[in-house]
Amino acid sequence: MSPTMSPMSPGVERRGSTPGSPDVMVIDREEAASGSSRASPAAVDSPSAAEYDPTQDMQEDQARAAQQTGKADISIGTSHNDSQEQQRQLAPMKKAKKEIDMFADDDDDEEIEDNGDIQEDVQKPTVLDVRLLDNWDDPDGYYKVHHNELVGPGNRYNIVQTLGKGMFANVVRATDMATTGNQGNVAIKIVRRNDLMKQAGFKEVGFLKRLNEADPDNKRHLVQFLGNFEHKYHFCMVFEDMKMNLRDLMKTVSGGGFALKAVKSYAHQMFTGLKLLKDCQILHADLKPDNILVSHDDKTVKLCDLGTAIDIRDNNEPTQYLVSRFYRSPEIILGMEKTYGVDMWAIGCTLFEIWTGKILFTGNSNNQMLKSMMENMGFFTEKYLKKGDPNMVAQHFFFPPLQFASREVDEFGQQRLRPLDPWKKPPKDIRTRVFNAAKNIVKDRPTDVELNEFVDLLQACLNPNMDKRITPEQALEHKFCKKSRPTTHAAPRSGKLTTGSGGAFKPKMVKPMSARPTIIKPGPAKYGFSLKK
């Protein structure tokens, strides 16, 4: 492959194009005077979304897939953060947490400390001698990054920082020597030296070009692809530079969750990105906070990492380990048809996380993921289960009569099977967990109406029946995502839960819709919210 940039490389002015932004946005939520976190008794056992690293779970699922199929499954998913050290390298750390005002005039540069993450391997930008070929890769095929190395066509990019390493590639920040000013940085994804992963890189570029063509103004919330090249036998992709991903952003706020107004704006942007993917007939298949990036001013989020994306028109064979485990929809586990609803489910899980700071569904296997889903939403019905692949369903359910085969590990480390009958009422409740996250908020607490609208949206995103799951078009028109309607802020209320726009969730949603309702296209985005609770 010739070391030249793809003809898809747009000009610098397009790289800086961004959608409308909020007038005021603060990320952190203000807590009670005691400084207590927002964790509630009902949510104490839920893992922290900010501290979760999906890499180990993905490696376990990849091993399970390989054991079942006899070959590596590249569709398991990727993460740009496989260690806390790599996460710290993503952005300079502030000396102390403070209210993050995304629209302040100053950059607070005096509060940024050099944490030693950027290390100069060479004194100045240098082209490293190709005769050192044996030294370019580590034993796993990752490129050994050297800061201040010049890469790309015409030695255009100067590597200045390591951002992270995932299952398929490592990612670096580089200065574009052809530009000046704040727009001079880019992110470069350096794919491992592996034929299978290189082919996946080619496929990803094909999707990215399709998306670029559908979004020429860079306003539909997919991270912008700037081109590709080859460097020392490694396939490289160049993207616009973003600040960090949503999981790392959660680390910067107390309690891990954002203000509801911020969640609302980010949700609208995510659904806009999903609409673009759907328009281009692309299923992302690995959405999670790690694969949603935030801009340097925190105003804008964009979906990223299409390394495991699928053309929805391609072969629809059951793949029970598609999507990272905590964001995997039930139809994937049960061998049903893959639809755009797979991505909507993952976004629903993500929205819950960025509000509560907690993981919604957890489990150390597909079996325990199903159990977690039913604990929160109710038992699946026989009619629903019969839509799945019989062999996959039989791994988890018995009927008649309907029972769930919970595969658990006892205190001696031995796996045992525990049949569970359907319960009358789910032991956990999404609505309660959403409201609990607001209990300690003193200033500008969301109203019960706002919280119920959010619950209604989550339940629509997380409908087990993929045929009735909300679509991106419908989500953009949902009351929670509307920008123009006035918002009021009430004083803290009692813990009594009121009924939202959608009422209680009904798990027996198995009858397919005969027709979609007419959707009015949303107008231009006008984000006006604060991330502070």
pLDDT digits (tens), the chain, 533 positions:
444 454 343 333 445 444 445 555 566 665 433 344 444 434 445 777 777 777 666 666 666 666 665 655 554 444 434 333 333 333 333 333 333 343 344 444 333 333 333 344 556 899 988 777 667 899 999 999 999 999 999 999 999 999 988 889 999 999 999 886 546 999 999 999 999 999 999 999 999 999 999 999 999 999 999 999 999 999 999 999 999 999 999 999 887 799 999 999 999 999 999 999 999 999 999 999 999 999 999 999 999 999 999 999 997 787 899 999 999 999 999 999 999 999 999 999 999 999 999 999 999 999 999 999 999 999 999 999 999 999 999 999 998 889 999 999 888 888 899 999 998 888 999 999 999 999 988 888 999 999 999 999 999 999 999 999 999 999 999 999 985 444 333 222 223 323 333 333 333 333 333 333 333 333 334 444 455 56
Fold match flag (49-78+244-366+427-481 vs 92-240): no
pLDDT given for residue 49 in this prediction: 76
Structure tokens at 229: 């090249």
pLDDT given for residue 225 in this prediction: 98
| Buried-state track 191-228, b at ≥16 Cβ within 10 A, e below 16 | bbbbeebbebbebbbebbbbbbeebeebbbbbbbbbbb
Residue 452, CA distances (Å) to 162, 351, 431, 483, 490 in order = 42, 14, 8, 17, 14
Instruction: Give the predicted TM-score (pTM) of the model.
Output: 0.76
Is 261 annotated in some ligand binding site? Answer: no
- The answer to whether residue 286 is catalytic is yes
Other Cβ atoms closer than 10 A to 42 = 13
CATH class of 92-240: alpha beta
pLDDT given for residue 22 in this prediction: 55
The CATH architecture assigned to 49-78+244-366+427-481 reads Orthogonal Bundle (1.10)
pLDDT given for residue 181 in this prediction: 53
Alpha helices in 280-412 (DSSP H): 330-333, 341-356, 366-377, 382-385, 390-394
Catalytic member of 241, 286, 290, 305 = 286
Domain ranges of the chain: 49-78+244-366+427-481, 92-240
pLDDT given for residue 55 in this prediction: 66
Other Cβ atoms closer than 10 A to 117 = 17
pLDDT given for residue 66 in this prediction: 61
